[in-house]
Amino acid sequence: MEQTAKNSGMVLACGPMPFLKNIWKNALELNVPTQLSLEQRMACGIGACLGCVSMTSDLYPDKQKAGLPVQTCTKGPVFWAHELNLDA
């Protein structure tokens, strides 16, 4: 990711949450544009059950949802790293 940052590249990642958390932390530290595909368990897939929520950061573009959980199935599953708070 350091090399990608130096080359003004972009990172795309999917995988298990411990891996994505490491990518997320590096993306924020290195300021690399990064998209994460979150693999949450999904029951309904239409935003009704709230079983797939992910926590957003203060930088989430919908200010009414910033810092709050959003449905991964309908708002994602791909998010920009800076829009998420995976430590929550």
* Residues forming the site for ligand FES (CB under 6 A): 42-45, 47-52, 71, 73
Nearest-approach distance from CB 40 to ligand FES, in angstroms: 7
Please state, in angstroms and rounded to a whole number, the distance separating the CA atoms of residues 56 and 43.
20
**26 versus 72: smaller Cβ distance to ligand FES:** 72
The DSSP call for residue 1 is -
How far is the first Cα of the chain from the last one, in angstroms, to the nearest whole number? 23
Nearest-approach distance from CB 80 to ligand FES, in angstroms: 19
Nearest-approach distance from CB 26 to ligand FES, in angstroms: 27
The DSSP bridge pattern shows strands 34-37 and 11-14 to be parallel
